[in-house]
Chains A and B, each alone.
Chain A
Amino acid sequence: MGVIEAILLTIATAATPLLIAAIGELVVERSGVLNLGVEGMMIMGAVTGFGVALLTGSPWLGMLGGIVVGALFSLLFGFLTLTLVTNQVATGLALTLLGLGLSGMLGESFVGQPGIRLPNLHIPVLSDLPFVGGLIFGQDPIFYVSIALTAGVAWFLFYTHAGLTLRSVGDNHASAHALGINVIGIRYLAVMFGGACAGLAGAYLSVVYTPQWVENMTAGRGWIALALVVFASWRPWRVLAGAYLFGAVTIGQLHAQALGLGIPSQLLSSLPYLATVVVLVLISQNKRLTMVNTPASLGRPFVPDR
């Protein structure tokens, strides 16, 4: 395997969890709900994924566990913000703090245990093709899921009636309600989809990316996923581009650390976070772009009148 191929493969594994979590959050935000709890849902997915894989011996069940727990955990947020109409920013933060705390507690006995990794895809002949074989036919299965998810969400949002309905709820919940659309119901579904995606992304970290459990192992990836949604101006394929850009920054700084260029490793480690800030500034500077694309009801509470 060549060096370039290896680097491209690691970029894909670094980008995949960001992409999955961000695609989920994109759907949530398109329905007009801002869930800042991505980090918390991801870490819950990570601890569940690792634990289930360890206890059952099946990494696939681990991924499934991450999805289910992510979706259930997001229901807490849904119940508070949608049914009890609490402040979405504060509730999302609460979800993150609770997730980080709970996962630390649940995962305590997992610390230091070797995990079970989901094996990469291997198709005879095709996976062994030089260069493209590994990249196209030999990655982990979740990589393909993430690409399919992006395509699926792009198709759903812009080419189906249900997607149009979801976007209408996000752009003007009062009008959608007046048209007889069940605003709260749709938002519940969107929030759970976002939770499932974040849970899968978390399980990916602890079952594929680095098969182990470390407290706070998401290390801000949930927040970077939130930033990616803004960066992508709520467009699925741009989320994919952004996730790979961040994957490249993450892997680039790791390689720079390995080379030992005399640059402090802490400075290199902070690059993904600094890059997030820079990218957010560049995007938000363009007021027209953000104004046109931001779901108009994003973060605004909705109480159906009767």
Chain B
Amino acid sequence: MRIELSKRPQHSTLFSVLSPFIALALTLVAGAIMFSLLGKNPGEALYFYFIDPLREVWSLHELAVKAAPLILIAVGLSICYLSNNWNIGAEGQFIAGAVLGSFIPVVFPGFQNWTVLPLMLIMGMAGGAAYAAVPAYLKVRFNTNEILTSLMLVYVAQLFNDWLVRGIWRNPEGMSFPGTAPFHEYAVLPAIWPDAGRAHWGIVFALVAAVVAWFMLSKTLRGFEVKVLGQSPRAGRFAGFSSSRMVFFAFIVSGALAGLAGICEVSGAVGHLNEKLSIGYGFTAIIVAFLGRLNPLGIVAAGIILALTYLGGEAAQISIGVSDKVVRAFQGMLLFFVLACDTLIHYRIRLVSALPRSKTAEA
């Protein structure tokens, strides 16, 4: 038996819509198998992963808290990946945004008025954008592979943040725990409905970013430029588009969004800067971007699904004792199935037995 691909004359609209759903279904099947191997009732486990977190209002708020950074980062990444710029260092840009955004409340704790929060958000975006500009500059100026440089800078950012919160930024009253002092009230991103749950304005920023990016990509010349340069840099050059400028544009936009996600997480969800800043949002967002088929509106849905896996992981750990380590394995499997199913969009897949083909070719 062999698998043979034949290119479709045009990409299949049906499978463009269906493929993420097929991938999700396959992931659920694989997940059920995995849970049975771990000795758990798969039905029960999947219930705790995907249904239980949706039953209570407070937990829907938690979902929004986790979905916000995933959507913000993935929207930016979609612009990068569509334009063929492989930024995989969003985790580092997230940290850079969180650190620079925390600058005012940590260094000038006495400066307290309503301008603090907007300034923090702007500085967070600036931090992420500046950090993303480094691999962009190296790619344009020295032709350096942006995949490797952006990833290396993740480790550097993690170590830098670690140094800050254990060193000069550490809360002197923090019982020697690493982390800055809690932010004052003007530096906290407020909850949307404080009575109902923790969801902060980050989710609103995420939805706005998704709609703006969707509009930009599907309705404007700049969006066309992104896609042309991504698919055929040569064609893009004939159209007068600059691929160097596109590198900067894609990296800076995605860096700014990742930075915004970082400062929103710190000032909205946590309330101070610490060493365990991110639970891998920058990497999980890569999965979100592909599950959303690099479409900002699809990314909103995908972000909610991946956020659900985080919450479900916590729920399943408490209720049926499945390790929270399962979550990342689950997320990794999902990306595999998403990529495999995308083949259906461009190719017809046929199973053929190995022998007859050569015979018919000779006949």
> Footprint of B on A, CB under 8 Å?
36, 76, 80, 83-87, 89-91, 93-95, 97-102, 104-105, 108, 215, 219-220, 223, 226-227, 230, 264, 266-267, 269-270, 273-274, 276-277, 280-281, 284-285, 287, 290, 303, 306
Please, which residues of chain B bring their CB within 8 A of the CB of A80?
A: 336, 339-340
Please, which residues of chain A bring their CB within 8 A of the CB of B144?
A: 277, 280-281, 284-285
Q: Is the interface of B mostly helix, strand, loop or mixed?
A: helix
CB contact list, B278-329 vs A, under 8 A: 283, 286-287, 290, 323, 325-329
The listed residue (A84, A105, A274) touching B326 by CB distance below 8 A is A105
What residue of chain A has the Cβ atom nearest to residue B289's Cβ? A90
Contact B343 A101 (CB under 8 A): no
Report the bound CA distance from A280 to B144 in whole Å.
Answer: 6
What residue of chain A has the Cβ atom nearest to residue B361's Cβ? A306
Please, which residues of chain B bring their CB within 8 A of the CB of A36?
A: 147
Please, which residues of chain A bring their CB within 8 A of the CB of B188?
A: none
Contact A273 B152 (CB under 8 A): yes
Contact A277 B152 (CB under 8 A): yes
Question: Per-position contact with A for B138-158: 1 when CB-CB < 8 Å, else 0?
Answer: 100011110111011101100
Contact A230 B336 (CB under 8 A): no
What residue of chain B has the Cβ atom nearest to residue A105's Cβ? B325
Q: Tell me if B15 counts as interface (CB < 8 A to partner A).
A: no
Report the bound CA distance from A305 to B88 in whole Å.
Answer: 33
CB contact list, B318-357 vs A, under 8 A: 323, 325-333, 335-336, 339-340, 342-343, 347, 349, 357
Contact B343 A285 (CB under 8 A): no
Contact B167 A84 (CB under 8 A): no
Not counting A97-B335, A285-B143, A303-B5, a sample of 15 additional A-B residue pairs whose C-beta atoms are within 8 angstroms of each other reads A84-B343, A86-B339, A87-B339, A89-B86, A90-B290, A101-B325, A101-B329, A101-B331, A102-B329, A104-B328, A223-B148, A270-B156, A276-B148, A277-B138, A281-B149
Please, which residues of chain A bring their CB within 8 A of the CB of B286?
A: 93, 97
**What's the minimum C-beta distance from A41 to chain B, rounded to whole angstroms?**
13
Please, which residues of chain A bring their CB within 8 A of the CB of B143?
A: 284-285, 287, 290
Contact A276 B152 (CB under 8 A): yes
**What's the minimum C-beta distance from A215 to chain B, rounded to whole angstroms?**
8
**What's the minimum C-beta distance from B132 to chain A, rounded to whole angstroms?**
14
Contact A98 B88 (CB under 8 A): no
Report the bound CA distance from A99 to B357 in whole Å.
Answer: 37
Please, which residues of chain B bring their CB within 8 A of the CB of A99?
A: 332
Please, which residues of chain A bring their CB within 8 A of the CB of B88?
A: 93
The listed residue (B149, B162, B163, B332) touching A280 by CB distance below 8 A is B149
Please, which residues of chain A bring their CB within 8 A of the CB of B336?
A: 76, 80, 91, 94-95, 98
Contact B162 A266 (CB under 8 A): yes
**What's the minimum C-beta distance from B17 to chain A, rounded to whole angstroms?**
19
Report the bound CA distance from A105 to B160 in whole Å.
Answer: 28
Contact A281 B142 (CB under 8 A): yes
Contact A84 B328 (CB under 8 A): no
Contact A105 B340 (CB under 8 A): no
What are the 8 closest A-B residue pairs judged by CB atoms, nearest first? Answer: A98-B332, A101-B328, A101-B329, A266-B163, A266-B159, A94-B335, A104-B325, A84-B343
